[in-house]
Amino acid sequence: MTPFMELTDVSRCYGSGDTTVWALRSVSLRIIPGDFVSIVGPSGSGKSTLLGLLGCLDVPTSGTILVEGEDVTAVADATRTRVRGRSIGFVFQQFHLIPHLDALGNVGTALLYRGLRPAEVKEKSMAALARVGLAHRHDHRSVQLSGGEQQRVAIARALVTEPRILLADEPTGALDSNNAAMVMDILSGLRDESRAVVVVTHDLDIANSAARKISMRDGQVVNDEVLVP
């Protein structure tokens, strides 16, 4: 099966000389269609650095990165931006919703500059909200939504562009256990659509609900285990 993402011997360092800090050391991994992967490890283990590289937000010091077969290791910023827009969606711990927009408007911001008619933007945005169970709250602003609902709007915004890979950085970190479970159910359901989901988390219960768990320490992958075939 052709991987959505493939990292080969990827390292990332910051600084130089005596001040060099190695955030990642010789990481190799593949993310395939239908993968639901959690990444765990203590602070400073390299989780966020790895997520940034997977999301084409950073470039490695050495090694190669392929996204859907395209080498993005050392390409121009414009190319990485194009690849992100084509293939990758992002969800963060903080929801980053625009306060003066309602849920429908927030989801629609992901479709700006795509040449779509307003009616198309509305249709796609409503469909994305329906996927996360919030079509009935489409006209509510963020202050009128619970934390769990705000995160589901953020997920809808990430999904409205139909990305092949969804990267989530602590997506349940600001939620109670019930809302966290709901969010994880939505993310795990993307496996059935042959999409891939990568979740960085400190919560072992959340990590163990994934189908595959990658453990990191000191910038290296120390374990990569399949939890659900």
Look at residue 43 and tell me if it is in a domain. yes
What pLDDT score was predicted for residue 93? Answer: 84
Task: Indicate which CATH number applies to the domain containing 90.
Answer: 3.40.50.300
Q: Is residue 82 part of a domain?
A: yes
Mean pLDDT per 10-residue interval, the chain, length 229 residues: 93 90 96 96 94 94 95 92 93 92 96 90 96 95 94 94 94 88 90 94 92 97 92
pLDDT given at position 121: 96
| Predicted local distance difference test score (pLDDT) of residue 178 | 87
Residue 28 lies in a domain: no
The answer to whether residue 188 sits within a structural domain is yes
φ, ψ dihedrals at 3, nearest 5°? -75, 150
The pLDDT, as a whole number, for residue 115 is: 85
| In-domain check, residue 63 | no
Which single residue is written with the structure tokens 């003066």? 100
pTM above 0.95, yes or no: no
Domain that holds residue 176: 34-57+75-226
Domain-located, residue 107 = yes
Whether 164 is in a domain gets the answer yes
Rounded Cα gap, residues 85 and 228, in angstroms: 30
pLDDT at 179: 87
In a domain, 5, yes or no: no
Number of domains within the chain: 1
